Structure 1
Amino acid sequence: MTDANTTAADPYLWLEEVDSDRALDWVRAHNAPTVDELTGSDRFEQMRADTLAILDTDDRIPYVRRRREFLYNFWRDAQHPYGLWRRTTLESYRTDSPEWDVLIDVDALREAENENWVWAGASMLRPDYDRALISLSRGGADASVVREFDVPSRTWVDGGFALPENKSNIGWIDRDTVYVGTEFGQQPDGDSSWTSSGYPRVVKRWTRGTDLSQAQTVFTGSVDDVAIGAAFDPTPGYQRHLVYRATDFYNTDNYELTGDELVAIDIPSDAAYSVHLDYLIVSPKTPWTVEGVEHAPGSLLVFDYPAFQSGDRTHRVLFAPDEHTSLQDYAFTKSRLVLTTLHDVATRLEALAIGTWEPAELAGVPELATVGVLDVDPEHSDEIWLSSSAFTQAPSLLYGDATTGVEVIRSSPEHFDASNVGAQQFFATSDDGTAVPYFVVKRDDVETGPTLLYGYGGFENSLTPGYMGVTGTNWIARGGVFVYANIRGGGEYGPSWHTQAVKAGRHLVYEDFAAIARDLVARGLTTAPQLAARGGSNGGLLMGVMATSYPELFGALVCQVPLIDMRRYHLLLAGASWMAEYGDPDDPAEWEFISQYSPYQLVREGVAYPELLVTTSTRDDRVHPGHARKFTARLEETGHSVRYYENIEGGHGGAADNKQSAFKEALAYEFLWRTIGG
């Protein structure tokens, strides 16, 4: 296979120059015909307007997080496209018209500072929550500027904690101290402050009123690590400083910082863990033998944390997976541990009494819906907030007490008529005989027709049924069939559903997706010319593989913010952090299996490819826009037609505000109706 790391082998390396005049001229020249072709119809305008109305509606649920007596929310609408950070009380929130106290108006801030700010989050200081570290990105990028904000006065703190634009980590220790990972310049070992993945490799303790250069080093990792960080747990009576070293995307060395000593937490490096009060909760991703007993990947175990650190491995199993059931999440309230599990991709919630770990009833949780825990307040109460939705059921917000039950307190409006829409689960048989589930959502009167298959298949990301107002309005209600694929690489059946599909097992992801495509045709739901697929990021790679390795199965593909050039992905932006998922292309043994599917190297002349819409964002600093650009250029070089659109802002999500999101969605659905909807 030709080495595409060299300019001679890759004539399109210049398209990796994100903001160069030459590259942006190319982008504009490719955007123009796509916009001209796809945006002139009444249908496009109707879909754009409908989508924007869904995103902007004041009737949607304002999801909140409790911080002491206030409920905080970030809100975008037509009048505030870049959003308001605001708060209210529970009493007011439960009325039909809550009284919101606006803390930061991002639109006003953009205008006052003449900056393209996009909200990137707030980290509040416990226990008073009167200060916040506000992150603002330019154009929606992952890199952000950090500033300290005084909540009672609604003002920026003069001389407060502040960081320039970077992929920094910062978190409170106390009012005058933070942990920070950012640009510190060259380090004593001669290397920079960053890992090869573009994340901090040094964490320091920074004291208010001192220069950043005076911050005290806590831990320094290797350039080859993914990231280094530290956090402080301020729970009264259980204060702890925890440090982590992510050696790759799935393996982390964990420590407790006691004084100046780092004490290892001796759990598997691939395990997820948390420390709550004196309980150590561990969920291994691979088999883990403790006291002579092997625990399956995805189990949940509880230990006494101080005893564990002294060598005692006495534990209790809180959850054990089976071939149909996996643990997806857990959350503590004051007296309960709430487990969220999936049984053949259907949600179940179970509460355990903390300490005895006996099952306890959690009343009011709806059946036949995807339910998730949104927020809890474990330090003070058993308060719990849940979300609930299904393919044909708009989201509901449930509130209550984990000991007495929950009730619906808010519901979103229905955005399309689902009275004659149904969802069914089917299983396709992959090449190795594995049964792979997928959902089909369509109007009851539609037996066959244009079908859109959505997939992701990576990073243990589970795709669960949920309401899709935009898809329902622009596709299902118009007579299209929508399909949701639960392929390997995800986490629907626990860690093993993912780990069997990393690196050399990556082909399983693509075989699963292709198996579902064939199964849809075999069931008579569609034909290959009327079957389209859509995916973004890792799902964009999936689309690239479908185009170049399975072109006969599809009539059209929507490939969004994709990874495409797997020979160079690890050299671009955050790509190095994903080598635990895909492999190292500089290792000949690993390039051998990567090269079997890397779309950029597999583009060929004389092959009938599906119709393609490739989209990305100039401001995406996670997946480099060069992937999408080069894929398009290579396709054109080999005689293939492709539509291309690159948003000049938007970050990895592809859009920085609701108007951009509505445009992007309408563009994709107009492309689909034109190509497979006839």
Structure 2
Amino acid sequence: IFYHKLGTDPADDPKIYGEGCAKELSLGTSLSEDGRYMLLHVSHGWRSTDLYFRDETDPAGPAGRFRPIVEGIDAHFGGRIIGETLYALTNYQASRYRVVGIDLQNPAPANWQTLIPEADDLTIEDVAFAKGHIIVSGLKHAVAHLYVYDLHGKLQREIHLPTIGSVTGLAADLESDDFFFVFESFLIPPAIYRCSVSKDAPAQPQPEVILASAQAVDPNLVSIAQVFYPSKDGTQIPMFILKRRDLSVSDGTPHPTVLIGYGGFNVGKTPTYMPAIVPWIESGGIYASANLRGGNEYGEDWHRAGMQGNKQNVFDDFIAAGEYLISKGYTDHDHLGIWGRSNGGLLVGATLTQRPDLAKAVACGVPLLDMVRYHKFLIAYLWCSEYGNPEDPEAFKWLYAYSPYHHVHEDVSYPAIYTYTAESDTRVDPLHAKKMTALLQHVASIKAAKGPILLQVEADAGHGVGKPLHKIVAEQANMWAFLAWQLGLS
């Protein structure tokens, strides 16, 4: 981290932190509200965070030293300094997170004050601070909820949200009663809302829409159900299922169904706006999104149950989701498609090799597929904390055990697969998609596949962030057209 003073030559900026740091670390800074303290975040992958601070009034200036607040604890920490207190959101001794107050001058864990304790039914995702209040957003069974507490941790009220959905972008100011957030759902585009913590606000205030887009579909025409199904080990997994309200699943007719998942990096699959699913549902298709282990839906224990040596749980959860959809009459093997991107591409790749009979078609986007050598390319070494390092003998065993590329067999007839990647992807090297497609096409020349083995490599594009609209439209059109073609949706 470098310290830059406006109007000076950046080449002269002094380095204030990072000398000798491991390249796997991620660094970030923020300032306290009054500008006195700088808070430094040092993230060790997706497992843990160290926090340091320094006094910006120190006569040493940019050469001032950082003092530890939290160091060497295997847990996530984040927060904001207000006065002499760090209000921290952490999963330390609280898998589903809690909010603690840490005295900067006496930061030992024994002195922490728990303000908002861990709840049995809520996973806290984010906190913000308005005038005299703490705003908390969290998940109950993968559905967003929003609460207002005072600074002592006493619950004041729950904020009414429009429907099941996701809350992001929580923002507030210590000098204002107002706070802002973004809400979206499967059929509702992201909209910015404003709400107040004022004592004059109603007990259950209705947030005010500040900026919104028009909806593409009447939500009353679509049925959104949340179900829970058992995975291989009996763990109950939630899943959202969307279909046209008038579409019957009890008449024995299998419907073209797309199942998606992710299951990793503490990232949940909460209800977010996906306009591309609208024509699919309007045409009689079904869309299902499973909340697999490895995400954040039920806290850090849920995340760790799907990482490193537990990664097979994620694939078992996903396979069980497909079997559930078939057993309940939504679809059958000949009308089921699976789709995943990035870590989700690994998910569908592993499902393809472990259960080639499960789905008729696979859409595999910007995937990781060779898990024995993944860490050698681009920035993938950063993910060793999530997957494990193949150079560690113990980790090699579990990585090889599920690595999709290493479990393609010449005596198996594989389903149709459309793999798409981008030549300039700087996150997941396109070599994964290319070599897997080449291997599957080779096997198809020996044992005929059940459908085409396709690869698209896009020029002038990367992993997806910042992709222009016309490229997003083309990518989505190709992928959904492939699934409609293979699953028989017209």
Per-residue deviation at 1:622?
Answer: 1.0
1:163-202 to 2 correspondence within 5 Å? none
Distance 2:466 2:475 in 1: 8
- SS of 1:412's equivalent in the other structure is coil
Residues 580 and 413 (structure 1), Cα distance of their counterparts in 2 relative to 1, 3 Å cut: same
Per-residue deviation at 1:409?
Answer: 4.0
- Contact 2:165 / 2:186 at 8 angstroms: preserved in 1? no
- Contact 2:101 / 2:115 at 8 angstroms: preserved in 1? no
Distance 1:411 1:229 in 2: 34
- SS of 1:265's equivalent in the other structure is strand
What residue is the counterpart of 2:75 in the other structure? 270
What residue is the counterpart of 1:569 in the other structure? 374
What residue is the counterpart of 2:311 in the other structure? 506
What residue is the counterpart of 2:144 in the other structure? 347
What residue is the counterpart of 1:521 in the other structure? 326
Question: Given the two structures, how large is their TM-score scaled by the length of structure 2?
Answer: 0.88
What residue is the counterpart of 2:153 in the other structure? 357
1:651 maps to which of 459, 462, 465: 462
* More divergent stretch after superposition (335-344 vs 217-226): 217-226
- Contact 1:231 / 1:241 at 8 angstroms: preserved in 2? yes
Distance 2:85 2:269 in 1: 30
- Is residue 661 from structure 1 mapped to residue 457 from structure 2 by the alignment? no
What residue is the counterpart of 1:243 in the other structure? 40
1:592 maps to which of 397, 413, 421: 397
Amino acid corresponding to residue 264 of structure 1 in structure 2: P
Question: Given the two structures, how large is their TM-score scaled by the length of structure 1?
Answer: 0.65
Distance 2:106 2:23 in 1: 27
Residues 381 and 514 (structure 1), Cα distance of their counterparts in 2 relative to 1, 3 Å cut: same
1:193-225 CA-partner distances (Å, limit 9, x unpaired) = xxxxxxxxxx33244565555332323355644
- SS of 2:124's equivalent in the other structure is strand
Amino acid corresponding to residue 155 of structure 2 in structure 1: P
Identity %: 28
- Contact 2:49 / 2:77 at 8 angstroms: preserved in 1? no
Residues 246 and 420 (structure 1), Cα distance of their counterparts in 2 relative to 1, 3 Å cut: closer
Residues 362 and 504 (structure 1), Cα distance of their counterparts in 2 relative to 1, 3 Å cut: closer
Amino acid corresponding to residue 347 of structure 1 in structure 2: A
- Is residue 439 from structure 1 mapped to residue 240 from structure 2 by the alignment? yes
Distance 1:569 1:633 in 2: 17
Per-residue deviation at 1:272?
Answer: 1.9
Distance 2:385 2:415 in 1: 31
- Contact 1:440 / 1:483 at 8 angstroms: preserved in 2? yes
2:31 maps to which of 229, 233, 237: 233
Amino acid corresponding to residue 459 of structure 1 in structure 2: F
1:155-554 to 2 correspondence within 5 Å? 203-208=1-6, 211-222=9-20, 224-233=22-31, 235-236=33-34, 238-258=35-55, 259=60, 260-266=64-70, 268-277=73-82, 278-285=84-91, 288=92, 295-309=93-107, 313-322=111-120, 324-354=121-151, 356-361=152-157, 365-366=160-161, 368-403=163-198, 404=201, 405=205, 406-446=207-247, 447=249, 448-473=254-279, 475-554=280-359
Per-residue deviation at 1:604?
Answer: 1.7
Distance 2:124 2:465 in 1: 31
- Contact 2:32 / 2:80 at 8 angstroms: preserved in 1? no
Residues 209 and 419 (structure 1), Cα distance of their counterparts in 2 relative to 1, 3 Å cut: closer
What runs of 5+ residues in structure 2 fail to find an aligned partner? none
Amino acid corresponding to residue 382 of structure 1 in structure 2: D
- Contact 1:370 / 1:465 at 8 angstroms: preserved in 2? yes
Amino acid corresponding to residue 414 of structure 1 in structure 2: Q
The number of aligned residues is 463
What residue is the counterpart of 1:24 in the other structure? none
- SS of 1:638's equivalent in the other structure is helix
- SS of 1:413's equivalent in the other structure is coil
Distance 1:230 1:668 in 2: 36
Amino acid corresponding to residue 666 of structure 1 in structure 2: A
Residues 361 and 536 (structure 1), Cα distance of their counterparts in 2 relative to 1, 3 Å cut: same
- Larger relative contact order (Cα-Cα within 8 Å, sequence gap ≥ 6): 1
- SS of 2:395's equivalent in the other structure is helix
Distance 1:515 1:332 in 2: 41
Distance 1:497 1:312 in 2: 26
Amino acid corresponding to residue 577 of structure 1 in structure 2: L
1:624-649 CA-partner distances (Å, limit 9, x unpaired) = 11111111112122225411112112
Residues 246 and 362 (structure 1), Cα distance of their counterparts in 2 relative to 1, 3 Å cut: closer
Residues 515 and 316 (structure 1), Cα distance of their counterparts in 2 relative to 1, 3 Å cut: same
1:506-558 CA-partner distances (Å, limit 9, x unpaired) = 00000000011111111011001110011101001111111111111111010
Distance 2:231 2:119 in 1: 22
What runs of 5+ residues in structure 1 fail to find an aligned partner? 1-202, 289-294
Residues 306 and 656 (structure 1), Cα distance of their counterparts in 2 relative to 1, 3 Å cut: closer
Per-residue deviation at 1:452?
Answer: 0.2
Per-residue deviation at 1:484?
Answer: 0.7
Distance 1:536 1:261 in 2: 42
1:49-85 CA-partner distances (Å, limit 9, x unpaired) = xxxxxxxxxxxxxxxxxxxxxxxxxxxxxxxxxxxxx
CA RMSD of the aligned region, Å?
Answer: 2.3
1:67-121 CA-partner distances (Å, limit 9, x unpaired) = xxxxxxxxxxxxxxxxxxxxxxxxxxxxxxxxxxxxxxxxxxxxxxxxxxxxxxx
Distance 1:301 1:393 in 2: 30
1:18-167 to 2 correspondence within 5 Å? none
Amino acid corresponding to residue 407 of structure 2 in structure 1: L
Amino acid corresponding to residue 337 of structure 2 in structure 1: A
Distance 2:23 2:190 in 1: 39
